Structure 1
């Protein structure tokens, strides 16, 4: 135990367990959907936006916390020192803290529905929660079948972005739906990258993640195409008149994308070195989505 504490300082472990940078994943779909709504309608409700962002962070916290609980049941996290269950040795407590986050998050979305006298947004977010549960929760555990990326794309892409747009306007938008593809791809990129360093543990637990199925080398090649697709898509939407030219600001994130692809290609089969690639993917996601949304505002 003493050796582990020296190797893994408790503060660092807790920060790794909480994963602060990851919460941009909850914020960016709300930001982009709201930005598109403002560009199209010149409507911006600050109270709705702020409430939605806080609620989204709480719901993502529930998903991250509950995933630690569900993973502890399969044994896949036995070597994961920063698992909340491993850190606290109290699975029921972790489980109920996660449920508290979910309840508070849904209360925020219910508040938006009450203000609008419209249940549409809460219905969409409940669907997102169902997809989030199906990712790791029993009896589904679709993440163990390699389907997590598909669930992630729809939950954090089309569903979340459209919900954010609707929360501002109470209408639908084909523009919002189209650009949600970019947000979905950028978010799914983070999940895809999270598998490279845990192939052995995934195989031992029977988890058929995309990297287990493809192998790390082919997975690194797929990552290049997957990451690169964000930028021509952005240009295509501008050329088709779907999004304004200012959205090409998102290309400022390209150096992070290049860094990510190079890093994974060089270290795909070295777990200790490649384990940080998901945080580079977070940087790609954050800057691409932030500047993409800013393009609509400008």
Structure 2
């Protein structure tokens, strides 16, 4: 990162800092959890769905902004031109803005709890927020111990989908739990792929990410196995009748999975070439989640 890149931020840097594609991690769990609820109950509360979706987007905005703030404190982002803290030069502003987004997001979940006279969804979301804070926030900084992917899996998989499903049904479901495993894996892959190009920065900051621990070559091999396992689980859940037959549509997201595995396999040790792999992972996450949810919706129709 050069001084000029910070002194004269352009639209591309700001777009990279805001991370619009990353908000699919907020949308997809709510979509899938709601789709499973629709398939099993044949009912849908649009009011609850829209409120929950809006709140999830606001909470993910808090996560992104607060992570920039916390990373600026450890120095790991000193070479990251598209950090919002580096772009604005105002850490306190980004911190306050992130907390505002969090408050608005929690307010939406409070509205759901109040409307339904049931605090269950609020409790689940608050647990997600706490775990999200432990990822980068002091004194925990569990992401620096290589636990970020586990936290990501739990928050955006089982917890988020359970909350979305419960908000529609006030009950629990084996199908929603199975779906949460798929979404948890695909979400964690995004974070996993974000480490390939920043091994040196992670090492310098003392961050023991999975790629730092494993090395990029083993990480690339593991990525292929994880992608394969995700699609194998979808097939198994369909065969066992846990998923409706329509969820086989999820196989339409195989092309970005293959592209991701080939790209990382070829360029895993070339930071400039592999740095875009997390966006391929976002594409995989979006399309696999979209088709998985669509499979449940079509089964309801």
TM-score range, shorter chain: over 0.9
**Cα 1:220–1:2 shift into 2, 3 Å:** closer
Structure 2 residue aligned with 1:110: 110
> What is the alpha-carbon distance in structure 2 between the residues aligned to residue 139 and residue 210 of structure 1?
20
Provide, for residues 188-239 of structure 1, a one-character-per-residue CA deviation record: whole Å limited to 9, x for no partner: 0100000001000000000000000000111001111111111110000011
Structure 1 residue aligned with 2:60: 60
1:179 aligns with 2:194: no
Tell me if the contact between 2:6 and 2:87 (Cα under 8 Å) persists in the aligned partners: no
The 5 A counterparts of 1:114-129 are: 114-129=114-129
Runs in 1 of length 4+ with deviation above 2 angstroms? 1-6
Task: Report how many residues are paired.
Answer: 297
Unpaired runs of 5+ residues, structure 1, are none
Structure 2 residue aligned with 1:85: 85
Structure 2 residue aligned with 1:137: 137
SS in 2 for 1:229: helix
> What is the alpha-carbon distance in structure 2 between the residues aligned to residue 241 and residue 187 of structure 1?
24
Structure 2 residue aligned with 1:149: 149
Unpaired runs of 5+ residues, structure 2, are none
> What is the alpha-carbon distance in structure 2 between the residues aligned to residue 205 and residue 248 of structure 1?
43
Provide, for residues 54-90 of structure 1, a one-character-per-residue CA deviation record: whole Å limited to 9, x for no partner: 1000000000100000000000000000001000110
> What is the alpha-carbon distance in structure 1 between the residues aligned to residue 189 and residue 75 of structure 2?
25
1:16 aligns with 2:20: no
1:4 aligns with 2:5: yes
Provide, for residues 115-138 of structure 1, a one-character-per-residue CA deviation record: whole Å limited to 9, x for no partner: 101000000000000110000000
SS in 1 for 2:128: helix
Structure 1 residue aligned with 2:194: 194
TM-score by length of 1: 0.98
Structure 2 residue aligned with 1:234: 234
**Cα 1:139–1:2 shift into 2, 3 Å:** closer
Structure 2 residue aligned with 1:160: 160
> What is the alpha-carbon distance in structure 1 between the residues aligned to residue 185 and residue 222 of structure 2?
13
Structure 1 residue aligned with 2:255: 255
Deviation at 1:4, TM superposition (A): 2.7
Provide, for residues 99-146 of structure 1, a one-character-per-residue CA deviation record: whole Å limited to 9, x for no partner: 000000000101111110100000000000011000000000000000
Deviation at 1:172, TM superposition (A): 1.1
The 5 A counterparts of 1:202-213 are: 202-213=202-213
TM-score by length of 2: 0.97
Provide, for residues 22-56 of structure 1, a one-character-per-residue CA deviation record: whole Å limited to 9, x for no partner: 00100100000000000000110001000111100
Deviation at 1:174, TM superposition (A): 1.6
> What is the alpha-carbon distance in structure 1 between the residues aligned to residue 201 and residue 162 of structure 2?
36
Instruction: Say what the alpha-carbon RMSD is for the aligned residues.
Output: 1.2
